[in-house]
Structure 1
């Protein structure tokens, strides 16, 4: 197996649609950090994406501020925040603040700024945002990313360090160009064949943008129902993926799958 160009990391997306109390989410964060998970994610929606559509759900950025205070080692962030839901200047300030909250003695902050253009229509309709089209939402993201980056440079205090930007999505004409221009991490839901094709497209965009693609960490989603068989991840690792993220949600939090993924990481 080819030696990875950067450390292999394990992430867990802990869905805030817990269908239970926040206390269970808080306890899960402790367990996952103690387990050795490298990155904890939530998401930025206002309603459950699975299970009872009217089930309990919590706002993502308020939760991230709590995680910043609660944790001491893991990196964390939204997978992903929706660009449409907040003024980009405000979003930059929120991210900077959460990053500072997460700074422990002598260290830097630990926020990963995951962002995308948005897709869940119910969020838009019920909260009064203009849903627009896929194209218009991507165009807005392209306009707002430079504003977010500029605001970080103007804030007092500035972020504790360069906040890593994660962009989610696989659109080859617009999204991957934004990845080449702005992202430190690219996240997708791709099998190996699709991943290799999209990485070739990303290489082309990086060349056009004057970017070294090796600067971008490649991230992918992991199936919770793998039964402990992570051999497909070996192929993704060979393709260049180094951040593997499992999504878990209540009422049945599958800590066993997360533990298995950590063991796979540690066996490399």
Structure 2
């Protein structure tokens, strides 16, 4: 098992909590030693009471940029459908500067229909949303180069999902990080498909960091098989109202023991 590049993330789900609790959780996560803090880009809770407390993604990332000093921050993931791509690029560039170059630009094509219906976006089809993402990613990258000032760094793009024909090809073309939502066996198989897309595009698949949701269980038992399969970023999801970070601590301790 190669352990030199294992990183630990936390997804502080912005649901069922007052913002003061989220603020405290971000501070605690940084103190614990996490590498990345993510939120998510939705307008309503994904589980629990459907009309529970919830906060918006990108304004929160701006606050995190000022509150934190070491960790990377980002959305796991932002929804391409909710903002004009030129505006989204500018928002990301701004958070990149606010954070002194600590933004990870996580993006996906969207899936939660209630967000679309309640906020007046056209839901369409999964294929259509992926096609739109394919059109918008080059626009985002082009806008970054036009902005004044330009981003502080080549902003890392994280793409989440495992669709074999469209999503993984977008990963091969645009992403610095691929986030997989799959189990170990599927993760291994989809990496082979990703490598094939990289071959078609002339890209080294080793340039793409593999990110996974941290599975339940003892990190020392469930982590190594995923590391052996190529995963190096493990993210623990935590929800409100109290943001119990005990599992996160276990994963950070495992990382530090490697």
Tell me what 2:9 maps to: 11
Kindly indicate whether residue 54 of structure 2 is the aligned counterpart of residue 53 of structure 1: no
Equivalence for 1:43: 40
TM-score, structure 1 as length reference: 0.94
Aligned to 1:178: 170
Distance 2:181 2:115 in 1: 22
CA distance in 1, matches of 2:95, 2:145: 16
Q: Which residue is equivalent to 1:121?
A: 113
8 Å CA contact 2:62, 2:98 repeated in 1: yes
Deviation at 1:186, TM superposition (A): 0.1
Counterparts of 2:120 and 2:182, CA distance in 1: 32
- Are residues 1:92 and 2:89 paired? yes
- Residue 106 of structure 1 aligns with which residue? none
The answer to whether residue 241 in structure 2 is matched with residue 241 in structure 1 is: no
State the match for 2:214 in structure 1.
Answer: 222
Tell me, which stretches of 5 or more residues in structure 2 are unaligned? none
Figure out how many residues of one structure are paired with residues of the other and give that number: 258
Q: Distance in 2 between matches of 1:168 and 1:75?
A: 17
Q: Following the alignment from structure 1 to structure 2, what is the Cα–Cα distance between the partners of residues 158 and 31?
A: 31
1:25 pairs, out of 22, 26, 30, with 22
CA offset digits 1:181-232 (Å, max 9, x no partner): 0000000112211011000000000000111001000000013x42x35412
For 2:5 and 2:227, the matched residues in 1 are separated by: 11
Structure 1 residue 7: Cα displacement? 1.2
- Relative distance call for 1:37 and 1:229 in structure 2 (3 A) is closer
Aligned residue in 2 for 1:157? 149
Quote the Cα distance in structure 2 between the aligned partners of 1:196 and 1:24: 37
Unaligned runs of at least 5 residues, structure 1? 104-108
- The corresponding residue for 2:71 is 74
The residue number in structure 2 matching 1:267 is 257
Most deviating of 195-204 and 230-239: 230-239
State the 1:255 CA deviation: 1.1
- Distance, in Å, in 2 between the alignment partners of 1:43 and 1:171 is 20
Residues 120-140 of structure 1, C-alpha deviation per residue, up to 9 Å, x if partnerless? 000000000000000000000
RMSD: 1.0
Q: Give the drift of 1:252.
A: 4.2
Report the alpha carbon displacement of residue 251 of structure 1 after superposing the two structures with TM: 2.5
Cα offsets for 1:65-105 (capped at 9, x unmatched): 000000000001000000000000000000000100011xx
With CA pairs under 8 Å and 6+ residues apart, which has the higher RCO, 1 or 2?
2
